[in-house]
Structure 1
Amino acid sequence: MRYEEFESFLDEDLSWRKKEVSELFLLAKDNIDKETLRKSLILLLYSHWEGYIKKASKLYIKYISEKKIKINLLSTNFTAITLKSQISKCIDESANLTLANELTFMASYIKKQERKFKININPDNDFENQVIDTHSNLKPKVFKNIIKILGLSYKSAIETREHYIDSHLLSNRNSISHGNPFDHNAQDGFSLTLTDIEKLKKIVFSIIDNFRDELLDYADGEFYKVINNEQRLIYIQKKEEELENIFVDIES
């Protein structure tokens, strides 16, 4: 996969998702008294939040895999991906862990370091969760784990707003999807108005846009390579400040 193809895949997948949310938002504006439409907006916003993060993550891993780079030249998260089955086995056998098991694991680790990173992953298969698993509930904690798997950096700008995302996107989505009425009394500064939903939409898509940009910049700058770690750290700080400024503008 060429960089241009990777960029095109990410942009096309994000474009139709934004279009759907915008269309439903306009419909809700024209029918301001219809709470059903506003509840549907929460459901649709969540579905595209989870859907895009999952698919974009798989596309990034596929992009790196097709580069056929030696594992010892890549950041450590890619070693962890290739050793996932062995790590799981060690955890399952932890009660009976012996030096022989540890030596077997280390031998596998050393052997794989000289191999090229290669993994079969299908971005279009929603049921494939061997590497990227949202657990059908992409809360910030799960998103943070995915960020680690990809070798990116989880931003403090998101961390300080985890409660907002959990309360207004995740909790409401779970409640609505289970057929429960919207409980206005249980909300913390969120009343299901279009103003509240628009703010939530801006926060969510700001995170998605930032995520999309990082995947492309990591691919273009080859920040997935150990040799480029210094440049990667400088880049991380820049993106951290950028996202925080965006959030501040939205919240003001």
Structure 2
Amino acid sequence: MDKIDIISQIEEELTWRFEELVFFKNQLSLIEKEEEQNRYRKSLVVMLYSYYEGFCKSAFQIYIQTINLEQVTRADVNLSIRTSSLHEVFLAVGNDSKRDSRFKKELPEDSKLHKYSRQATFVNEFTNFLTETVNIPESIVDTESNLKAVVLKKILYRLGFPFEELDISENTINKLLGYRNAISHGSRKRGITEPDYEGLESNVKELMNNIRKIINEAIRCDSYLETTR
């Protein structure tokens, strides 16, 4: 797939969310009383969070699909992508219910032995793993139903982005989650004032734009490769 097409997909994921947010925000002009406008903004905050989480998940999954479609081997990609592509293999290694058939009868409950057997199988097949085509599962992008700053960092780390060097606006994420949770728990019954909402929306949009730029740059530069082409 052409890089321009892929980047366009990510741009569209951001654009439709921003446009829809504008549409719903414009409905404020139909509400005369300020206190009712404040109450209406509670719904905008909830939507703002859903757009933030939804965009991040969609954009990262597009990035994963892009890598998978390249049909490169694990030996060709960086350590993070290589590790993420082995996610299912690692789950099998750590699966305590998976037991070596040779010991099922004599030592069925020897968990250490069966664990060692799974590890030995992994080591024996490791060379083959490196020659296999990369296929990162979508489950790597786990927003954990609450896309906190630390959760976003985990996703960035798994996909090989230099998360420690990136400004992911932790204060903005914490503020957004704080508002959303307060609304859900009923502790902001009076709603959100215009200045508070506008400041929050501006910062969240900037955060989403930064995520877009990070992913687009990685696609342009083939950053997932061990040595860029």
Query: TM over 0.5, yes or no?
Result: yes
- Give RMSD over aligned pairs: 2.7
The one-letter code sitting in structure 2 at the alignment partner of 1:133 is: D
TM-fit CA distance, 1:47 = 0.4
Aligned with 1:78: secondary structure? helix
Distance 1:39 1:169 in 2: 11
What TM-score comes out, normalization by structure 1 length? 0.74
Which of 83, 88, 92 does residue 89 from structure 1 map onto? Answer: 92
Query: What does residue range 103-252 of structure 1 map to in structure 2 within 5 Å?
Result: 103-119=120-136, 121=138, 130-155=139-164, 158=167, 161-166=169-174, 168-178=175-185, 180-182=186-188, 192-228=192-228
Instruction: Give the residue type in structure 2 aligned to 1:197.
Output: Y
In structure 1, list runs of 5 or more residues that go unmatched: 122-129, 185-190, 230-252
Q: Return the structure number with greater relative CO, CA threshold 8 A, min gap 6.
A: 2
Mapped contact 1:140–1:165 kept (Cα < 8 A): yes
TM-score using structure 2 length: 0.81
1:82 is matched by which residue type in structure 2?
S
- Identity percentage over the alignment? 26
| CA distance in 2: counterparts of 1:29 and 1:18, whole angstroms | 18
Is residue 49 from structure 1 mapped to residue 56 from structure 2 by the alignment? no
Q: CA deviation at 1:176?
A: 2.0
> Which structure has the bigger radius of gyration?
2
Query: Could you tell me how far 1:27 is from its partner in structure 2?
Result: 3.2
Q: What is the Cα deviation at residue 25 of structure 1?
A: 3.0
> What displacement does 1:112 show?
1.4
Distance across 2 between alignment mates of 1:60 and 1:81: 13
User: Match for 1:210: what amino acid?
Assistant: N
Which residue in 1 is equivalent to 2:64? 61
For 1:162, give the aligned amino acid: E
Instruction: After superposing the two structures, state which structure 1 stretch, 39-48 or 89-98, moved more.
Output: 89-98
Query: Aligned with 1:117: secondary structure?
Result: coil
| Deviation by residue 1:175-228 (Cα, 9 ceiling, x = unmatched) | 3235x14078xxxxxx83222222221221212111111211111111111114
Structure 2 stretches lacking a partner, 5+ long: 98-110
Q: Secondary structure at the match of 1:226?
A: coil
